[in-house]
Each structure stands twice: as structure tokens, then as C-alpha cells.
Structure 1
Amino acid sequence: MERQLDFNECTAICNFDYLPEGLEAKYNRYHPDHKSYLIPRDFLSELFEHYQIPEHTRQRLVRGIEEIEHHAVLFHFTKFLVEEMCSARNRCDETRYTNMTPGCMDQDGDLYSFLLLLACVVPSMEMLQKRSVPKAYYERIPHQPLKHQLEKLVQHGDAKVHDFPWAMNFYTCSIFLLDRFYFIPYRFGDPFTMFRHVDTQEVIALRHAGEEFRSDGQRNGVNDVYDPHGCFISEWRENGESIRAHRINPMGFVERETTSILKKDWEPALQEGDMLLALHIPSGPGYTPERLKNSMSMAMEFYGEYFPELPIKGFWSASWLYDTRLSLLLDNEKSNIVRVQRQFYNYPTLEGDGMLRYEVFGDRNIDPVRSPGGFTTSLQKAAAAYMQTGARFNTLSMIVLKEDIGRIGSMPYITEADMEQFRRTVDSHLREVTG
């Protein structure tokens, strides 16, 4: 192109079925790299050989790449997308990148999303090389989704990318497996503030004002379950000396009674906008407090050495595994699910039990109450029996602050009093209905 087309001209010509919001300002800051290729052919050849890709699939992929490269405007815009995507995760950019298909591609538009992700691999690795990150940390990262994607393409001709945002973490080499868990930068945005006592180092989380909770301390309406008579709205009363608000019990619920703290005794430890590392849990053995502690220690060391500009305050995650209701069903001394969740500062979310239904029963929409038969594992049977009482599970989130990593294994946040209050509070909204 003789001149760089403006954003609207580009998108009109490319005719995407979807583009994320907020790209125009980024496009206006983009400086073209003038590379004549989208994906280096030597990288492509190595990939073909490694996975023994048959000739017809090789030709199809090369044809799709060449169709992009020969369309000047699409090629230009695709290189812009690659540059943005490669650095998005470390910038904690919330742009919703997902599958997109340009209408200007005549033959192989169905390949575009996969080729766009594939084009991110080499520049992402080059960025890590410039940071002196050892190759062992990232050379296998893209292959986790890539292996399945290529198998699907070869066997079924299916180029669709499943869960594009999750796959993007791997193609852009933004997520790292450190011992047992994956880690990736994450911007904290939930409506509460954590404080640490200046002398005792105790940590407390206070929920912000204006949210509605059931009497069990879960968000009113989660799982479409409401508590019209027992619900309460969170408050935050602050003056020069103190803050009075609703404490989040680290067993994963918000307390009805407010708690007051003196500002001279407590310092903010985590606030909205702070940077954390999101922790993701791959399947397999080793889900223990010991491996959690080791993985978090490795993550802080890794990011401190290779991404020193990121002011990491700790860790965040969301999972069905953190639902403290599971402690009502499982052996609290032997269950790794319970032992691990006791190391976290757990808190409620608006996500219901869809994740648990999928992970435990294999179907996000299954109703264990109406279809109680066929369950084989002890967890399936216990969860189904619990739900038959009218109770429901929740997806909870957790925080671990970096200063507390060394205390993992000895419950850094949860006390016996917290557990006792949990047992008194859990499912209280149901007792009000039945009692």
C-alpha cells in the first residue's frame, strides 16, 4: 500500500464478521513492520514435519496464508492484529479477542482465526528471547492447543478455533507452567479492598458498598436463587480515622454484620486496578498445598526476574474447586480439594454451579435432582445428595497475597472461628424458607 489506510477504510475492505471494540485507537498508534510474510516458512515447515501433516492439509494452510499475504489491506491489518495480540496479556488488555472471519477472503476464510493465532507464535517467542527468558519456559507452550487444532484439521477438515481467548494465551506464549499450575498476568477488578494489619500482619477484605447479598453471604440471585426477606446490601462508611464495612469471611461469603477498622492500624494490601497473577489448574495429580506453595514461589521468582516491570501483588483464580460447600461433603483432613481451598482468601462471585456440574457430572446443564441415577464416584453421589436438599454450589474466587506464600500449608487467612461461622451461615437462606 502506498499509504496507510485509516481504520474505517481497512475494516470496510476486510469486512470482518467480528472485531473487538477499542481497536481504532490502537491501530492509530501502529507502525507497520513491512515484513513480506505473515508466518515464516521455515517455522511452518518445521511444524509440518513435527506433526507429519499430510500434503493436502499443508497445501490448504499455505494457500490460506498466501491469500492473506496477497491481499494488501488484509495483510496489513492482520499484522496489526498480531502485534497487538502478542503483547495484550502482559498489558492486561481486556480487549475481547475471539474468532473473526474476513469477508474479503474468497477461498479460505474459515482458516483465518487459526492462522492469525499461528502468526503470533514466532514474534511472541522473539519477544521472550529479547527478555532472555530461557527457551525451556516457552518452547512447548503453543503446542498444547496446536496439537489438537492440527489433528482436527487433518482428520475432519475443521479449522474452527475452540475457545479462542484461552487458546490465545498459548499461541502468544503469555501463560507459563511453573511446576503444577499455569500463571498469566491479571488486573484485579472486584469490588473490595484488602488490608493488612501493620503489627499482626492479619489480612482482612472489606466489600464495597451497594451489592446485594443473601443471608448466606452469597450474591443475591446467583444460580437464580433469591432471598427477598433475608438479603442485605453492603455498606461502606469511612471517615478520617476508620472504615466500617462488611468483611468477606475467607471461607467465601460476606458477613451480615459490619466490621470496623482503624486506618492507623491497617494498610491497603490489594485494591481495584492492582496487578496479580491468574492461576489456572491443569488436570492431573499433585493438586496439593505443597505444590501450590512451590508453584507460587516459582511464579514470583520468574516474573520478578523476566518481567520486573509488572508490580505483581499476589494471585487470583476462580474455580468450582474453591467452593467451601465441598468441605461439607469431603473428608477435611484427607481431601486435597479442601486442603488447598483452606490456603486461600475465598470470596463469592455471581458465577453459579455450571462449572461444577460440568467438571463433576460432565454436563453443564445436568440436573442431578431430576436425574439422580448413574453416578459412580463418591463426589458425584455426595454432590447430588446435597443438591437434592435444595442447596446449590457456587464458583468462588480466591486471593493469595505474595507476602503470604510462605504460610501456605498453615491456612494464612482462615481461622477456626471463620469455619465455625461458615457452618452457621451456609444455606441459611434455605432454612429461612423452610423454617
Structure 2
Amino acid sequence: MVVQYVEPTHPIVGAAHTVRKALTEVADVNPLFMSPTAQAEALRELVAAECQLVELRARVMAAAPKIADQSGKNDTAAWLAHETHIGPREAKAQKRLAEALDAWPAVAAGMRAGVVNREQAEIITRALNALPEDTAAELIPRAEAHLVDEASRWNPNQLRVLARQVLDVIDPDGTEAREAKKLAAEERSAFQKTRLNFAKKHDGTTKITIVVPDLTATRLAHLLHAFTSPRHDPADKQALADAAGDEAGERVWWKLPNNKKLGHAFCELLENIDPNSMPQHGTTGTELIVTIPLADLRRDLAAATVLGPNGVERITANEARRLACEAGIIPAVLGGQGHVLDLGRTSRLATKAQKKALILIRATCSEEGCDVPAAMTEVHHLNAWSQGGKTDLKDLVLLCKPGHRRIHSPDYTNERLPDGTIRFYRRT
């Protein structure tokens, strides 16, 4: 007589079969004829049962890494997606939940009890994983138990708020120290993330992308509020009216969406900054020079040139007339031969007026082939003052820092070309 060994069914497999059998038995039962009380009880029980099933599945996944090895899959998520035809994203989410519940047993116990659902479990485990590294060891299990207890009373959105404040609840004495440390970390992070980029769209506009600390953004918002206040008269009221085809500029202004009002307010803010209060850099500090030939200034359709730190821009004569009235805008009218008229007198050292005149003569560094904007250059005497040179425009040039160092270096000689540029030669 041959006795055949039959491997006993594992309790978890048996439970899974029992659940499926029980569900099969009610597959054709119509809940329409249930009383409201029975429907409510069924829904509560089914949600609790679902929590238990999700936890059990996660428990099995956490304990079954060999499944993937035996089938040649990368991990249990890949195996589950292949075998059950669920999506890869959902399979990976289930794997993450399995790993989280394996690390946080109290959360898993809450799901087994049917009082913590999957969404709540994900919120709690994310919050626990995000606790500061220096959190006292005895506080961690207390935080976990507290959030599991709160899950029985609050929905996921409310629980998410509570999870962010869990340490303040279980350890109120350390709240101030944690807050100070958190703020210091945020300030350091904000400093590292601060940046500003200009991107020309080549349609007359430039997109400015800026990331700044919260405090800086708050200060900017307060400054812009002065220009968006109901009591403020926009400087470009008529321009806004013209653009909208409306004679009443004030009506157009208040019809604008808030983001557009803020955009125009930002433009006004820049135009109202006093350049005398700003630090100097390069040659001109924060001033813009607007140039236009005298004859063109009298024509309605003439164009003007703006010389700034990033190069040359073209604007209409009307805009040039408006800018000439603003602080920090230097109007420069050119004579018939393009010569600069009355910007300043010479002195022992190059004056600000002479520096501005040099920028008008040449918009970039004077070194041959160098395109560094003139506003970022330094003034150089071609004939040194100490050797009898004069501070006349014809004897001054603008050079970028490397070029300025090169012209004073004994390793190089130079010559001034007919177009005014400087060509360097390395000594042999």
C-alpha cells in the first residue's frame, strides 16, 4: 500500500479560498432589496474587510522576494503585474505599501483590525519616514501609535494635517526647538534654490523665471500692492487703454486679471527705483542709456536704442520720450555724425558721464572679438596718466576684466585697430 503525501494547505491560502468562496456565494444577490440598516452595516464591514485583505496581501508580498527570483522578474511588483494583469504602477504602489507596513508594525496592526485603510496607511507611513533624523528614539513608536489611533476618527485629508504636526502633539516641550531648526533648514534650502532666469521670447517680451525665499516674495508682494491698490493711478493708463481699444484707461486697468495687474505693477516698480540708492557696478550702476538721433526724435515712427547690462534693445521714439522722464534713465541725443552731445566733461579720472559716453560709442568690450556688454567693463587709459596721458574720450577704452588684466600684462603687446578695437599679441 502506497501512502501519497499531500502538503497541507497553508492557513493564509485557505483564508483566501474561503473569502473567494464566500464572495462567490453572494455574487448573484441583489443588494437593492436590503434594508438601509443592512446596507450600511454591509458597507462598513466590506471596507473593514478590504483593509484586512490589503494588509494581508502586503504581508505576503513583503515575505515573498523569492517569487521574483524563481520567475526571472526584477521584483515582486513585476511578478504581480505579470501574473495578475494589474498595471505596473499599481503593482509598484502595492510593493511600496508592503515595505512600509513591514517597517511600521502598528500601522499594519491597524489595518488588520480594519480601522486603518490603505490611503491612511500610506499617509501615516510617509509621515513617519519623514521624521527628522535626530528624533528621539522613544518618540517614534509614540508617533506611530498616535496616528493609528487618530485614523479611526479622521479622514485622509484631516489625517494628513495631523501627521505633519505629530511631534508637536506627542512632545509639546520640544516644539520651539524643532520649529527653529526647521526654519533654519528651510532658509538654507531657500538660499540654495534662489535663482532668476531671463528668456527672450523674440516677440517684444522676456519671460522671467524666479525662485526666491518666502520672505523676499512677501516683500515683493507688499511693494507691488502699492501699484495695484485701488487708490493707485497706473503710469501706463493710456497705453493700457490703447492696447484694449478703450478710451477710459482706468476702466481697462481694473478689468485686468490680477496676474496682469501684478505684471504691470512690477514694471512700474522697476521704473520707480532711485538709481542713486543702488550699488554701482561696472560703469553705469543701475542706469539705462536711451539713445536716439536728434532728427529721428522729431518723427513719430522713429526708433531708439536702449543700452543695458545685457546688450542692445530697440524701442519706439514715444517710449524713449516717456523713459526720458523716469529716474535712472539717461537720454542721450546724438548729433548728425552720431557724436554724443554734452554728456560730461573730462577730468583727472574718467567721470561717470565719460563712462556713459564710452558705452554709447561701443556697446561691448573693446578687445577684438569680445562681446562682453559694455556695462560690465572697466575704463582703461590707452596712455597712462602717470606717463602724461590725458583723460580724453579718444584715449579711453572699455575692457572686460580679463582684457584689462591682459593689457597691463608684460606678456602681451597690443595695437588699436582703425575701428577702435584692441588686438593683443603674446610676446615671444
Q: Which has the higher strand share?
A: 1
**TM-score interval, smaller chain:** under 0.3
The one of the two structures with greater contact order (alpha-carbon pairs below 8 A, sep at least 6) is 1
Q: Which has the higher helix share?
A: 2
Q: Bigger radius of gyration, 1 or 2?
A: 2
